[in-house]
Protein backbone atom coordinates (compact mmCIF):
# COMPACT_ATOMS: atom_id res chain seq x y z
CA UNK A 1 0.00 0.00 0.00
CA UNK A 2 1.41 3.41 -1.03
CA UNK A 3 1.91 5.89 1.81
CA UNK A 4 -0.41 8.85 1.63
CA UNK A 5 1.16 12.24 0.92
CA UNK A 6 1.35 14.51 3.97
CA UNK A 7 -0.41 17.86 3.51
CA UNK A 8 0.30 20.37 6.31
CA UNK A 9 -2.59 22.86 6.69
CA UNK A 10 -2.53 25.95 8.93
CA UNK A 11 -5.80 27.08 10.53
CA UNK A 12 -5.23 30.75 11.32
CA UNK A 13 -6.78 32.39 14.39
CA UNK A 14 -8.03 28.93 15.27
CA UNK A 15 -9.76 30.03 18.47
CA UNK A 16 -12.77 27.79 19.10
CA UNK A 17 -12.90 26.29 15.59
CA UNK A 18 -12.33 22.77 16.86
CA UNK A 19 -14.83 21.29 14.41
CA UNK A 20 -12.99 22.89 11.49
CA UNK A 21 -9.71 21.38 12.71
CA UNK A 22 -11.31 17.93 12.84
CA UNK A 23 -12.88 18.25 9.37
CA UNK A 24 -9.60 19.27 7.74
CA UNK A 25 -7.78 16.42 9.44
CA UNK A 26 -10.26 14.04 7.78
CA UNK A 27 -10.07 15.76 4.38
CA UNK A 28 -7.18 13.88 2.82
CA UNK A 29 -9.12 10.78 1.83
CA UNK A 30 -7.21 7.81 0.47
CA UNK A 31 -4.46 9.82 -1.22
CA UNK A 32 -3.41 12.44 1.35
CA UNK A 33 -2.99 12.76 5.09
CA UNK A 34 -3.74 16.25 6.34
CA UNK A 35 -1.69 17.40 9.31
CA UNK A 36 -3.35 20.37 10.95
CA UNK A 37 -1.39 23.25 12.45
CA UNK A 38 -3.25 25.84 14.51
CA UNK A 39 -2.09 29.34 15.30
CA UNK A 40 -3.45 31.92 17.68
CA UNK A 41 -2.26 34.75 19.89
CA UNK A 42 -2.45 32.42 22.89
CA UNK A 43 -2.59 28.90 21.49
CA UNK A 44 -2.48 27.39 24.98
CA UNK A 45 -5.93 28.95 25.54
CA UNK A 46 -7.37 27.96 22.15
CA UNK A 47 -9.43 24.77 22.17
CA UNK A 48 -8.94 24.38 18.43
CA UNK A 49 -5.16 24.67 18.80
CA UNK A 50 -5.22 21.98 21.46
CA UNK A 51 -7.07 19.72 19.04
CA UNK A 52 -4.60 20.43 16.22
CA UNK A 53 -1.51 18.32 15.55
CA UNK A 54 0.83 21.29 16.04
CA UNK A 55 0.37 24.80 17.43
CA UNK A 56 2.07 28.15 16.93
CA UNK A 57 1.88 31.51 18.64
CA UNK A 58 1.40 34.56 16.43
CA UNK A 59 0.86 38.28 17.05
CA UNK A 60 -2.43 40.01 16.33
CA UNK A 61 -3.17 40.14 12.61
CA UNK A 62 -2.89 43.95 12.67
CA UNK A 63 0.68 43.70 13.98
CA UNK A 64 3.32 44.64 11.33
CA UNK A 65 5.12 41.38 12.09
CA UNK A 66 2.10 39.12 11.59
CA UNK A 67 2.87 38.03 8.03
CA UNK A 68 6.57 37.67 8.85
CA UNK A 69 5.60 35.19 11.56
CA UNK A 70 3.16 33.35 9.30
CA UNK A 71 5.81 33.05 6.59
CA UNK A 72 8.23 31.67 9.17
CA UNK A 73 5.68 29.00 10.17
CA UNK A 74 5.05 28.18 6.51
CA UNK A 75 8.72 27.70 5.69
CA UNK A 76 9.61 25.80 8.86
CA UNK A 77 6.68 23.39 8.56
CA UNK A 78 6.20 23.13 4.78
CA UNK A 79 2.64 24.44 5.12
CA UNK A 80 0.69 23.89 1.89
CA UNK A 81 -2.60 25.64 2.72
CA UNK A 82 -3.54 28.51 5.07
CA UNK A 83 -7.18 28.82 6.13
CA UNK A 84 -8.13 32.20 7.69
CA UNK A 85 -11.14 32.07 9.99
CA UNK A 86 -11.88 35.65 11.12
CA UNK A 87 -12.89 38.71 9.12
CA UNK A 88 -10.18 41.02 10.41
CA UNK A 89 -7.33 38.93 8.97
CA UNK A 90 -8.76 38.51 5.47
CA UNK A 91 -7.39 41.75 4.00
CA UNK A 92 -3.95 41.08 5.48
CA UNK A 93 -3.85 37.62 3.95
CA UNK A 94 -5.25 38.79 0.61
CA UNK A 95 -2.46 41.35 0.28
CA UNK A 96 0.21 38.81 1.28
CA UNK A 97 -1.14 35.86 -0.72
CA UNK A 98 1.55 36.11 -3.40
CA UNK A 99 4.35 36.31 -0.85
CA UNK A 100 3.05 33.29 1.07
CA UNK A 101 2.53 31.32 -2.13
CA UNK A 102 6.18 31.97 -2.99
CA UNK A 103 7.01 30.49 0.43
CA UNK A 104 5.02 27.36 -0.47
CA UNK A 105 1.50 27.92 0.88
CA UNK A 106 -1.72 28.67 -0.91
CA UNK A 107 -3.89 31.05 1.11
CA UNK A 108 -7.59 30.28 1.06
CA UNK A 109 -8.68 33.86 0.47
CA UNK A 110 -10.32 35.73 -2.38
CA UNK A 111 -8.45 38.60 -4.10
CA UNK A 112 -8.23 42.00 -2.37
CA UNK A 113 -11.05 43.53 -4.43
CA UNK A 114 -13.48 40.89 -3.17
CA UNK A 115 -12.31 41.26 0.43
CA UNK A 116 -12.74 45.05 0.26
CA UNK A 117 -16.38 44.51 -0.68
CA UNK A 118 -17.08 41.80 1.89
CA UNK A 119 -15.40 43.64 4.78
CA UNK A 120 -17.38 46.85 4.19
CA UNK A 121 -21.05 45.98 4.67
CA UNK A 122 -22.17 49.25 3.12
CA UNK A 123 -20.08 48.57 0.03
CA UNK A 124 -21.42 45.00 -0.02
CA UNK A 125 -24.97 46.32 -0.35
CA UNK A 126 -24.02 48.82 -3.06
CA UNK A 127 -22.08 46.29 -5.15
CA UNK A 128 -24.80 43.67 -4.90
CA UNK A 129 -27.58 46.16 -5.64
CA UNK A 130 -25.70 47.44 -8.70
CA UNK A 131 -25.64 43.85 -10.00
CA UNK A 132 -29.35 43.39 -9.47
CA UNK A 133 -29.02 41.20 -6.36
CA UNK A 134 -31.90 41.33 -3.87
CA UNK A 135 -30.72 43.41 -0.91
CA UNK A 136 -32.67 45.69 1.44
CA UNK A 137 -32.62 49.48 1.01
CA UNK A 138 -29.53 50.75 2.82
CA UNK A 139 -28.18 54.13 3.87
CA UNK A 140 -25.31 55.55 5.90
CA UNK A 141 -25.69 57.40 9.19
CA UNK A 142 -25.21 60.75 7.44
CA UNK A 143 -27.84 59.86 4.84
CA UNK A 144 -30.31 58.78 7.52
CA UNK A 145 -29.81 61.94 9.59
CA UNK A 146 -30.09 64.06 6.45
CA UNK A 147 -33.33 62.34 5.40
CA UNK A 148 -34.90 60.67 8.43
CA UNK A 149 -37.83 59.31 6.39
CA UNK A 150 -35.54 57.59 3.85
CA UNK A 151 -36.21 54.08 5.16
CA UNK A 152 -39.26 54.56 7.34
CA UNK A 153 -39.19 53.59 11.01
CA UNK A 154 -38.10 51.47 12.81
CA UNK A 155 -34.65 50.96 11.31
CA UNK A 156 -31.97 48.37 11.95
CA UNK A 157 -28.44 49.66 12.48
CA UNK A 158 -25.11 47.82 12.40
CA UNK A 159 -21.42 48.73 12.09
CA UNK A 160 -20.09 48.90 8.53
CA UNK A 161 -17.11 46.77 9.54
CA UNK A 162 -18.75 44.74 12.30
CA UNK A 163 -18.80 41.03 13.01
CA UNK A 164 -20.05 38.60 15.67
CA UNK A 165 -23.26 40.64 16.23
CA UNK A 166 -21.30 43.61 17.62
CA UNK A 167 -23.08 46.96 17.75
CA UNK A 168 -26.45 45.86 16.36
CA UNK A 169 -29.53 47.86 17.28
CA UNK A 170 -33.13 48.65 16.37
CA UNK A 171 -34.19 52.31 16.50
CA UNK A 172 -37.90 53.07 16.65
CA UNK A 173 -37.66 56.74 15.73
CA UNK A 174 -35.16 59.48 14.98
CA UNK A 175 -35.22 60.41 18.67
CA UNK A 176 -33.83 56.98 19.57
CA UNK A 177 -30.60 57.57 17.63
CA UNK A 178 -27.67 58.48 19.89
CA UNK A 179 -25.86 61.73 19.21
CA UNK A 180 -22.96 59.73 17.76
CA UNK A 181 -21.76 56.18 17.24
CA UNK A 182 -18.28 54.81 18.10
CA UNK A 183 -17.79 53.54 14.52
CA UNK A 184 -19.29 54.02 11.05
CA UNK A 185 -22.84 52.69 10.86
CA UNK A 186 -25.32 51.64 8.20
CA UNK A 187 -29.09 51.36 8.42
CA UNK A 188 -31.78 49.24 6.80
CA UNK A 189 -35.48 48.58 7.30
CA UNK A 190 -36.24 46.05 10.01
CA UNK A 191 -36.80 42.74 8.26
CA UNK A 192 -38.69 39.82 9.72
CA UNK A 193 -39.03 36.19 8.75
CA UNK A 194 -36.77 33.15 8.77
CA UNK A 195 -33.04 33.74 8.51
CA UNK A 196 -30.70 31.54 6.49
CA UNK A 197 -26.99 31.16 5.96
CA UNK A 198 -25.95 29.95 2.51
CA UNK A 199 -22.52 28.29 2.39
CA UNK A 200 -21.05 28.29 -1.11
CA UNK A 201 -18.03 26.76 -2.81
CA UNK A 202 -16.53 28.45 -5.88
CA UNK A 203 -13.81 26.44 -7.57
CA UNK A 204 -10.45 27.68 -8.82
CA UNK A 205 -11.91 28.48 -12.24
CA UNK A 206 -14.63 30.68 -10.74
CA UNK A 207 -17.52 28.23 -11.13
CA UNK A 208 -20.14 27.94 -8.39
CA UNK A 209 -20.06 24.23 -7.57
CA UNK A 210 -22.17 24.00 -4.41
CA UNK A 211 -24.59 26.09 -2.36
CA UNK A 212 -25.88 24.70 0.94
CA UNK A 213 -28.43 26.87 2.76
CA UNK A 214 -29.37 26.24 6.34
CA UNK A 215 -32.11 27.74 8.46
CA UNK A 216 -30.68 29.58 11.47
CA UNK A 217 -32.96 28.14 14.13
CA UNK A 218 -31.02 29.49 17.10
CA UNK A 219 -28.00 31.82 17.25
CA UNK A 220 -25.33 32.38 19.89
CA UNK A 221 -22.70 35.13 19.60
CA UNK A 222 -23.50 35.58 15.92
CA UNK A 223 -23.03 31.90 14.97
CA UNK A 224 -25.67 29.28 14.40
CA UNK A 225 -26.17 27.00 17.39
CA UNK A 226 -29.11 25.08 15.96
CA UNK A 227 -29.65 24.83 12.22
CA UNK A 228 -31.19 22.70 9.50
CA UNK A 229 -30.27 22.40 5.81
CA UNK A 230 -33.01 23.59 3.47
CA UNK A 231 -33.08 23.09 -0.30
CA UNK A 232 -34.84 26.16 -1.71
CA UNK A 233 -34.54 27.28 -5.32
CA UNK A 234 -34.77 30.96 -4.32
CA UNK A 235 -31.66 30.59 -2.16
CA UNK A 236 -29.76 28.76 -4.89
CA UNK A 237 -30.59 31.62 -7.27
CA UNK A 238 -29.28 34.12 -4.73
CA UNK A 239 -26.02 32.14 -4.56
CA UNK A 240 -25.72 32.37 -8.34
CA UNK A 241 -26.35 36.11 -8.19
CA UNK A 242 -23.62 36.57 -5.55
CA UNK A 243 -21.13 34.67 -7.70
CA UNK A 244 -22.07 36.83 -10.71
CA UNK A 245 -21.71 40.04 -8.67
CA UNK A 246 -18.29 38.95 -7.31
CA UNK A 247 -16.76 37.07 -10.27
CA UNK A 248 -13.27 37.07 -8.72
CA UNK A 249 -14.42 35.28 -5.54
CA UNK A 250 -12.83 31.90 -4.95
CA UNK A 251 -13.17 29.08 -2.45
CA UNK A 252 -15.57 29.14 0.47
CA UNK A 253 -17.89 32.03 1.28
CA UNK A 254 -21.17 32.35 3.09
CA UNK A 255 -23.94 34.91 3.08
CA UNK A 256 -26.97 35.57 5.23
CA UNK A 257 -30.53 36.00 4.04
CA UNK A 258 -33.75 37.10 5.73
CA UNK A 259 -36.85 35.87 3.91
CA UNK A 260 -39.22 38.70 4.74
CA UNK A 261 -42.87 37.81 4.03
CA UNK A 262 -43.55 41.24 2.47
CA UNK A 263 -40.23 42.03 0.78
CA UNK A 264 -39.06 38.54 -0.12
CA UNK A 265 -35.60 37.06 0.54
CA UNK A 266 -32.90 39.71 0.99
CA UNK A 267 -29.16 39.24 1.42
CA UNK A 268 -27.96 41.16 4.46
CA UNK A 269 -24.21 40.35 4.52
CA UNK A 270 -21.40 38.27 3.03
CA UNK A 271 -18.47 36.60 4.80
CA UNK A 272 -15.58 35.71 2.49
CA UNK A 273 -14.40 32.75 4.61
CA UNK A 274 -15.55 29.54 6.25
CA UNK A 275 -18.62 30.41 8.30
CA UNK A 276 -19.24 29.17 11.81
CA UNK A 277 -22.02 26.91 10.52
CA UNK A 278 -19.83 25.16 7.96
CA UNK A 279 -19.79 21.85 9.89
CA UNK A 280 -23.51 21.48 9.13
CA UNK A 281 -22.96 21.96 5.39
CA UNK A 282 -20.06 19.48 5.52
CA UNK A 283 -22.08 16.83 7.34
CA UNK A 284 -24.88 17.25 4.79
CA UNK A 285 -22.47 16.56 1.91
CA UNK A 286 -20.97 19.97 1.07
CA UNK A 287 -17.44 18.83 1.85
CA UNK A 288 -15.63 22.06 1.05
CA UNK A 289 -12.51 21.15 3.03
CA UNK A 290 -12.07 17.96 0.95
CA UNK A 291 -12.52 19.88 -2.29
CA UNK A 292 -9.87 22.44 -1.33
CA UNK A 293 -7.42 19.62 -0.67
CA UNK A 294 -8.30 18.10 -4.05
CA UNK A 295 -7.54 21.42 -5.76
CA UNK A 296 -4.31 21.80 -3.80
CA UNK A 297 -3.04 18.36 -4.77
CA UNK A 298 -4.17 18.49 -8.40
CA UNK A 299 -6.79 15.78 -8.10
CA UNK A 300 -9.96 15.67 -10.16
CA UNK A 301 -12.51 17.71 -8.25
CA UNK A 302 -15.47 15.86 -6.77
CA UNK A 303 -17.25 19.10 -5.88
CA UNK A 304 -20.98 18.75 -6.38
CA UNK A 305 -24.35 20.10 -5.25
CA UNK A 306 -25.78 16.74 -4.18
CA UNK A 307 -26.10 17.48 -0.47
CA UNK A 308 -28.79 16.22 1.88
CA UNK A 309 -31.84 18.29 2.73
CA UNK A 310 -33.30 18.55 6.28
CA UNK A 311 -30.07 17.70 8.14
CA UNK A 312 -30.17 19.24 11.62
CA UNK A 313 -27.19 20.41 13.69
CA UNK A 314 -27.54 20.89 17.44
CA UNK A 315 -24.39 22.27 19.03
CA UNK A 316 -23.45 21.72 22.64
CA UNK A 317 -20.69 22.80 24.99
CA UNK A 318 -17.69 20.50 25.37
CA UNK A 319 -14.28 20.85 26.98
CA UNK A 320 -10.67 20.30 25.92
CA UNK A 321 -8.07 19.69 28.63
CA UNK A 322 -4.34 20.38 28.75
CA UNK A 323 -1.96 19.16 31.44
Mean pLDDT of the chain: 95
Residue 165: predicted pLDDT = 66
Question: Which H or E run includes 301?
Answer: none
Confirm whether 128 is domain-assigned. no
Confirm whether 35 is domain-assigned. yes
Residue range of the domain that includes 52: 5-109
Residue 28: predicted pLDDT = 83
For β-strands 185-189 and 139-140, DSSP reports them as antiparallel
Residues 175 and 200 in one domain: no
Residues 242 and 272 in one domain: yes
**Tens of pLDDT, residues 209-231:** 999 999 999 988 778 999 999 99
Of the residues 189, 204, 226, the one at which a domain ends:
189
Q: Look at residue 260 and give its three-state secondary structure.
A: strand
Residue 46: predicted pLDDT = 97
Name the stretches of the chain with pLDDT < 70. Answer: 1-2, 163-165
Of the residues 109, 128, 154, the one at which a domain ends:
109
Q: How many residues does the chain have?
A: 323
Confirm whether 177 is domain-assigned. yes
Residues 289 and 217 in one domain: yes
121, 269 Cβ separation under 8 angstroms: yes
**Tens of pLDDT, residues 64-105:** 999 999 999 999 999 999 999 999 999 999 999 999 999 999
Residue 209: predicted pLDDT = 98
Residue 151: predicted pLDDT = 94
Number of helices (H), then strands (E), in the chain? 10, 15
Number of structural domains (the chain) is: 3
273, 253 Cβ separation under 8 angstroms: yes
Each as own residue / partner, the long-range contacts of residues 123-127 (CB below 8 Å, 24 or more positions apart, any chain) are 124/269, 124/270, 125/186, 125/188, 127/245, 127/246
Residue 2: predicted pLDDT = 53
Listing from the earlier edge strand, what are the strands of the sheet with 195-202? 264-271, 251-260, 195-202, 208-220, 223-229, 312-314
> How many Cα atoms are found within 13 Å in the side-chain-facing hemisphere of 301?
21
Residues 96 and 202 in one domain: no
Residues 27 and 84 in one domain: yes
Residues 255 and 235 in one domain: yes
Residues 198 and 177 in one domain: no
Confirm whether 33 is domain-assigned. yes
Read off the CATH number of the domain in which 54 is found: 3.40.50.20
Residues 185 and 210 in one domain: no
Radius of gyration of the chain (CA): 20
Confirm whether 319 is domain-assigned. no
Residues 91 and 160 in one domain: no
Residue 223: predicted pLDDT = 85
**Measured in whole angstroms, how far is the alpha carbon of residue 116 from the centre of its chain?**
14
CA distance 284 to 90: 27
Residue 1: predicted pLDDT = 40
Residues 168 and 217 in one domain: no
Residues 268 and 279 in one domain: yes
Question: Which H or E run includes 217?
Answer: strand 208-220
Confirm whether 130 is domain-assigned. no
82, 98 Cβ separation under 8 angstroms: no
Cβ count within 10 A of residue 49: 28
210, 285 Cβ separation under 8 angstroms: no
Confirm whether 126 is domain-assigned. no
CA distance 211 to 178: 39
Residues 89 and 173 in one domain: no
Of the residues 89, 109, 129, the one at which a domain ends:
109
Read off the CATH number of the domain in which 217 is found: 3.30.470.20
Confirm whether 131 is domain-assigned. no
Amino acid sequence: MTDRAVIPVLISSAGRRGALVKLFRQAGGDTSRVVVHGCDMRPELSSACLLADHTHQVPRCSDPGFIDRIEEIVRQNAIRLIVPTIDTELAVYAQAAGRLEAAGARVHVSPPDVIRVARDKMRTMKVLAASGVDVPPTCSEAELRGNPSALGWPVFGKPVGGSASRGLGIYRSERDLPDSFPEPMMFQPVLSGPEYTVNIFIDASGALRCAVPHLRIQIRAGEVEKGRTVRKESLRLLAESVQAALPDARGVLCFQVIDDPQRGPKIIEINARFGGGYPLAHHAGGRFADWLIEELTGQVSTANDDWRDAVTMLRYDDAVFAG
